[in-house]
Amino acid sequence: MFKLEFWALLVGGIGSGFIYAMIAIGYTMVYGVLRLINFAHSEIFMAGGFASFFLLKATIGSTTPTGIMSVLYIILGILGGGIVGALLAMTLERVAYRPLRNRNAPKLAYLISAIGASYFLFNMAGKEFGRYNLSMVSPYVNHTVFTIYGAPVQMYYIIIFIAALIMLVTLDQLVAKTKLGRSIRSVAQDSETASLMGVDIDKTIALTFILGGFMGGAAGFLFGLNVGVVYTMGFTPAIKAFTAAVLGGIGNLRGAVIGGLILGVVESFSVAFVNGAYIDVVAFGILVLVLLFRPTGILGERIGRAA
């Protein structure tokens, strides 16, 4: 229980768990207000990754930064990825979803449109930026910061923990305490009444996409720091993040975080039992089990209406 492997796997699992959590936020928030699975969210993640890649490539010189410069570059990466993610999400909503909302289309029409948008976006990325993996210019020197029972905790994970925690807590407080957050929650519960009470539905929905898009794009940066970026990078993490969102309770913000962490850790530990190629099956298996036996997830649908 206290062996090195256990802690190493745990650290890795929490790291990827936070990334899943950040992507899952995008799914869960959009689902909360629109009851729609934003299938194209995977491309928002990818766009954030590429945006921060180009940003860092253009700004970081030949020497790897250290100290305070590292922190600044990391913040730059997060902002770059997040802002591009937010902008793309907003555009997506405007172009692919709002026309459907205006004619009251059924749920599946959005899903098909989302798939189309997703395919359009990642293949465009492939066309414009090439179809092979690109390593990010590192804004920091990756070293082992400390060890737990012999398991090394690298700088990379520290960065993820801190960055993710800051962003997630900020978002949580924003949704729980501010007027903006209240409008989101009210639209998620009952959009008709919300609009009667003066909430601007279109703006609130756009805001939801922006917030989820920022988180997803920033997640793309954090993900890319480790494994680089490639035009197909969105697919697998996004499906897993969706699983995390469902696991935690779709529509439930804190559930997305919990679901992400649980999924990340479970996945990490299943390396010990399952052949590496089949790890993805673990996430998918969790998804099917949750949907069949407890579709409201761990925390249940909270932002949205009761079943």
Applying CB under 8 A, which residues contact another protein?
36-37, 54, 95-96, 99-100, 103-113, 115-121, 123-124, 126-132, 134, 239, 242, 275, 277-278, 280-281, 284, 287-288, 291-292, 295, 306-307
Measured distance CA(89)–CA(212) in Å, rounded: 8
Taking alpha carbons only, the member of 201, 103, 218, 120 closest to residue 166 is: 218
Token pair 């993900």: residue? 223
Q: For the packed helices 67-92 and 155-177, what is the interaxial angle rounded to 10 degrees?
A: 50
Closest distance of CB 108 from another protein, Å: 5
Q: Residue 132's CB: how many other CB atoms inside 10 A?
A: 9
Of 2 and 132, CB closest to another protein: 132
Q: Which is nearer to another protein, 119 or 149 (CB)?
A: 119
- Shortest reach from residue 112's CB to another protein, in Å: 5
| Shorter beta-carbon distance to another protein: residue 133 or 178 | 133
Would you say 15 or 217 has its CB closer to another protein?
217
Cβ atoms < 10 Å from Cβ of 85:
34
Q: Which is nearer to another protein, 113 or 186 (CB)?
A: 113
Rounded to whole angstroms, how far apart are CA atoms 256 and 242? 9
Residue number, 126 or 152, with CB nearest to another protein: 126
CB of 217 to another protein, least distance (A): 17
Helix (H) or strand (E) holding 34: helix 4-34
Helix (H) / strand (E) element for 151: namely: strand 151-154
Whichever of 183 and 270 has its CB closer to another protein, that residue is: 270
Nearer to another protein, 181 or 213 (CB): 213
Q: Could you give the CA distance from residue 116 to residue 199 in angstroms, rounded to a whole number?
A: 31
Least Å from the CB of residue 226 to another protein = 18
How crowded is residue 87: how many other Cβ atoms within 10 Å of its Cβ? 18
Chain length of the chain? 307
In angstroms, what is the minimal distance from the CB of 296 to another protein? 11
Q: Are 131 and 42 spatial neighbours (Cβ–Cβ below 8 Å)?
A: no
Cα–Cα distance for residue pair 243/240, rounded to 1 Å? 5
CB of 206 to another protein, least distance (A): 17
| C-alpha dihedral (127, 284, 301, 81), degrees to nearest 10 | -30
**Smallest distance from the beta carbon of 167 to another protein, in angstroms?**
26
Region for residue 268 given its phi and psi (left: phi exceeds 0; alpha: psi -120 to 50; beta: otherwise): alpha
| Minimum CB distance to another protein, residue 125 (Å) | 10
